């Protein structure tokens, strides 16, 4: 139920009340909230307060304000996480080490679950993704996008929405700060190594080999991705800090 508000921090109270309303009414993504005038009357506040509350919820990815329709419940997405990772790495360059450690753990588990849960359609999409990567091995811009897409596909194959959003957020946040800048400087041999890592992951997913998929993903980080870190971290971050990351 929507309840009357006190006069303190009205927009914040309204935002919290609207979240509670969405949850109590079990409003699914795509469902519209009541119109502004009704929300204002039910909460006992002005329409500008409601607009401010909705703007806050929109910024958090909870609703989307559609012109001519009103506020619509939004499907959860990885954007808030992505913004967090990007901002953290801009402010504190050594935070890339923390992100890499998180990424390794999440993506090794992602590979394990994908090996268990993949379907023929999943494998077909993953094969096409890897084949397209091979075709664009010498096109850094395209390869970066395909690399991100391949790992997000694996996360999608887990059928675990939390893993999917986490992998997507981490991959997208690292795309500009790590991969895009470094792939332009890789030798053909290094790129072949990165590609071979992706192909080994795919082979184990095709076979449904859980332990093999985990090992292939860990090896991918150990043999290929770790080499990228040296060019992305600041001069103040030592090689010893990088070597401390455990990929096994």
Place of tokens 């990885």: 78
Q: Which of 1-15, 20-34, 147-161 has the lowest mean pLDDT?
A: 1-15
Residue 71: beta bridge partners? 65
- Same domain? 237 vs 121: yes
Q: Is residue 45 part of a domain?
A: yes
CATH number at residue 25: 1.10.10.10
* pTM across the whole model: 0.72
- Same domain? 30 vs 148: no
- DSSP string over 84-119: HHHHHHHH-TTHHHHHHHHHHHHHHHHHHHHHHH--
- Same domain? 148 vs 184: yes
136 pLDDT more than 90: yes
Q: What total number of domains does the chain contain?
A: 2
As a 3-state breakdown, the chain gives helix, strand, coil percent values, each rounded to 5, of 70, 5, 25
Q: Is residue 3 part of a domain?
A: no
The mean of the pLDDT values for the chain is 84
């Amino acid at each position: 139920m929507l309840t009357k508000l006190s006069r303190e921090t009205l927009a914040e109270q309204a935002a919290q009340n609207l979240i509670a309303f969405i949850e109590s009414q079990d409003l699914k993504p795509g469902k519209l909230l009541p119109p502004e005038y009704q929300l204002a009357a039910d909460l006992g506040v002005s329409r500008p307060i409601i607009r401010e509350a909705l703007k806050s919820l929109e910024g958090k990815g909870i609703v989307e304000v559609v012109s001519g329709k009103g506020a619509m419940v939004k499907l959860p997405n990885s954007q808030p996480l992505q913004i967090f990772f990007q901002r953290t790495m801009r402010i504190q360059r050594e935070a890339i080490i923390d992100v890499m450690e998180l990424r390794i753990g999440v993506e090794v588990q992602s590979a394990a679950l994908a090996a268990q849960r993949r379907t023929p359609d999943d494998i077909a999409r993953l094969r096409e993704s890897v084949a397209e990567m091979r075709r664009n091995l010498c096109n850094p811009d395209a390869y970066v996008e395909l690399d991100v897409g391949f790992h997000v596909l694996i996360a999608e194959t887990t059928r675990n929405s939390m893993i999917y959003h986490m992998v997507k957020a981490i991959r997208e946040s690292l795309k500009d700060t790590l991969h895009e800048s470094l792939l332009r400087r890789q030798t053909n041999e290094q790129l072949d190594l990165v590609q071979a890592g992706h192909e080994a992951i795919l082979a184990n997913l095709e076979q449904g080999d859980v332990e093999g998929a985990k090992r292939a993903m860990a090896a991918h980080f150990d043999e290929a991705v770790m080499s990228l870190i040296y060019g992305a971290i600041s001069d103040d971050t030592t090689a010893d800090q990088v070597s401390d990351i455990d990929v096994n």
